Structure 1
Amino acid sequence: MKEYPHIFYPKHTPLEQKMIPTKNSKTGFSESFFEKKFLSYFKNYVYKNVIIDDGKTHPYYPDYVLHIPEYSLYIDIEIDEPYTLRGNIPIHTNDQEKDEVRNQYFLNKGWGIIRFAEVQVVKFPQLCCKVISEYVRNVTGDQIWLEGFHEFEDLEIVRAWSSDDSQLMASDFFRQKYFNLLKTIKQAKPSINILADGIYLNNEIRATLRSLENDNTIKSFNKSVRSSLFLRLLSDFFIHFKAMDRTNGKIFVELTIFISNYHSIESFSFDSEIVKVDNYLINIYYVRTHDLICFSIYDSIIDDNLKQVILIADDPAYPPLLESLTDTEFILVRNYHDTTMSPYMKYLSINSLIENSLQIKYK
């Protein structure tokens, strides 16, 4: 009996495939939720609403295609639901051959396939991204795809379902239960956005680690900064913002770390998808970008109309950009000495935040 995630590796290298856009009205609620996390990791390589242009009369519509040209890599990524919401009809069951025929079509093209159960992408979107990253690493041998994931546990396995299982899940409103969780998260607009320059953050952590290694008074310390502890310490400063919207009694916060495709962030580890601190729920995103990070952060503030931002950065490129953002309130996390950032903005020292996150123990 198969289980999820269901992973297939092709037996031959794909030829260049022409993909053409198409209209597909079947995007599900769970797909749109997973998409934000997925795009944050693989933004420049994800295609949606495309089909292979091979003349097939009734083409297959991938939920998502991950295409990395430099590796000639194509992956069909599917999200399998146990039954339809309209009519409660069993689908993607392990006693039907429909999905097997579909899988073989893509494997014959030299494509890989990763199939997730819907409940996995709803509850653990970041762990699903880890599975995809592991697939890319396994094919390419490039470890950079797994950076940030080394503190995460593996995605919990979900047993595939039969038609009888599907009918039981439908009678228990299985899908509707986790959709209620989605609605709460999707309706909640973050009150605070934490935007981090990943190159700066990684460099500062590495510099701190080097200094600790040469300190004979220290007994032990963590080898990386864990996101959960870092955010718990940073949350002490959230009270400096006044506008705090609540959804079901919770204040939503987002951390987005921007990193170049050509740089590493091995010193910062993501050990939790959502960090809970008192009344705060902090969702975490990790964005790889082709653009200069300062411009990616600037565009994010403009495009998403962010009003309350904690900016983790210290570079001369930022002050001219921030001057134009008069409608946004900032708290800077920057160098205490030798800073290039504005002295007129609220700030806290990156150094003390990192040191406390490393849980230093003295002899």
Structure 2
Amino acid sequence: MHWKYSRRVQISKSSTIREILKVTEQADMISFAGGLPAPDAFPLAEIQTAINTVLESNDIYGALQYGPTEGYAPLRQWIANYLSNRDQISISADEILIVTGSQQALDLIGKALIDVNDKVLVETPTYLGALQSFNQYCPEYVAIASDNEGLIPESINDEVASSAKFLYCIPNFQNPTGRRLPVQRRQTLAAKAKQNGLVLIEDDPYGDLDYQGQRLPGLYTLVPENTVYLGSFSKILTPGLRLGYVLANKQFIGKLVQLKQASDLHTPSLTQYIAYQILSKNNFLSYHIPKIRQLYSTRCQYMLQSLAQFMPKEVSWNQPEGGMFIWVELPENINATELLSEAINHKVVFVPGETFFAYTEKNNCLRLAFVTVPEEKINKGIKILADIIKHRMHLQQEKL
């Protein structure tokens, strides 16, 4: 049988990270690859209690029934209240759409805004999952210059800003680099967006994972009329619930609702009811998020110490203030993708950096995820990786 696939399917590619994760199923593999939250941060007791409460309540039939596309009303209201209190801005539940993980939000936004060859601005590098989602709609990417503090707003000229459909960015502890955009750059970007009518897609799955608990103002608080904000419960509850949300003006939310109805009708009611039970009881996040921050901060510092101890001086990396990732740059003549094959043979796996670039791929970078790895394995894995890099550098030197 010859399947007559659509052009969309013909140009689609598997996620490099998902393919790499298959290797991590080996029990003796030390994985710095997956951007997975730490299982020991999952609130198991609260989840169990919430499930029992929902199953034993009068609302059980609502939890097991079809629901509104916009999402479970009490959960939407909780999100609106939470964001309003956290960021000192007035938000209505009508501006909230519950989605099946924030990855679905990226797909809906692509459907809503991108026509073939439309300009879409992205950071350098950027989140692979966003590129995968947007690629279906055949945009023309414009890679925005970035440095160790994130994207450089001044590199977006007025012509590019006014002609683009939107700019996609992760201001807080970006995937893959772990960078956080400074306040001044946020303000400059917001002003440029307002001046040129540029839509900002602010993806924020890591914003609550600031190790010091010092959150910077979101783009949607600086220029709300231009910003679509994406939030997720995957990193602060558990990804298995598959719950995210979109905050935007009511008109845009209405368009996304129409598209979501054609996609999956609504996000599963049961997981929404469970999440609401957890989030709405005893000010849950006020004590749960600090636990995650402490765990991740400890593992981050341990990896930074291991990098400093074992890596050659020619290798550099950032010092994250939060989140789940460290971005490593190797000497220019060391190819991280080629390095990966050798690392896997030594039971260590990471994600090569080139997969995160829309254009002008850099092949001497890699992403290390540290939050799921115990300290002793971090130390062992970084030493193995450093030894492989040193060996590669020695071989390169012999060729000269």
- Asked if Structure 1 and Structure 2 have the same fold, meaning a TM-score greater than 0.5 normalized by the shorter chain, the answer is no
Structure with the higher fraction of residues in helix conformation: 2
Structure with the higher fraction of residues in strand conformation: 1
Greater relative contact order: 1 or 2 (C-alpha under 8 angstroms, separation 6 or more)?
A: 2
Which one has a bigger Cα radius of gyration? 1
TM-score, length-scaled by structure 2: 0.29
TM-score, length-scaled by structure 1: 0.31
